[in-house]
Amino acid sequence: MHETLAILIGIGLSATCGFRIFVPLLGMSIANHYGFLPLSTGFEWVGSQPAMIALAVATLLEIGAYSIPWLDNLLDTIATPGAVIAGTIATASVVGGDISPFVKWSLAVIAGGGVAGIIQGSSALVRGTSTAATGGVANPVVSILELLAAVMGTFLSIALPVIAVILVGIILFFIFRRVHRLRIRQSA
Question: How far is the CA of 168 from the CAs of 17, 58, 163, in angstroms?
Answer: 12, 24, 9
Q: Give pLDDT, residue 1.
A: 56
CA-based nearest residue to 94, from 29, 166, 38, 53? 38
Are the C-beta atoms of residues 62 and 20 closer than 8 Å to each other?
Answer: yes
pLDDT in tens, 86-125: 999 999 999 987 888 999 999 999 999 999 999 999 988 8
Q: Give pLDDT, residue 129.
A: 85
**Global pTM?**
0.88
Q: Give pLDDT, residue 76.
A: 77
Q: Which residues of the chain have pLDDT under 50?
A: none
Are the C-beta atoms of residues 59 and 23 closer than 8 Å to each other?
Answer: yes
- For the stretch 121-137, what's the b/e string if a residue is b when 16 or more beta carbons lie within 10 angstroms of its beta carbon? bbbbeebeebbeeeebe
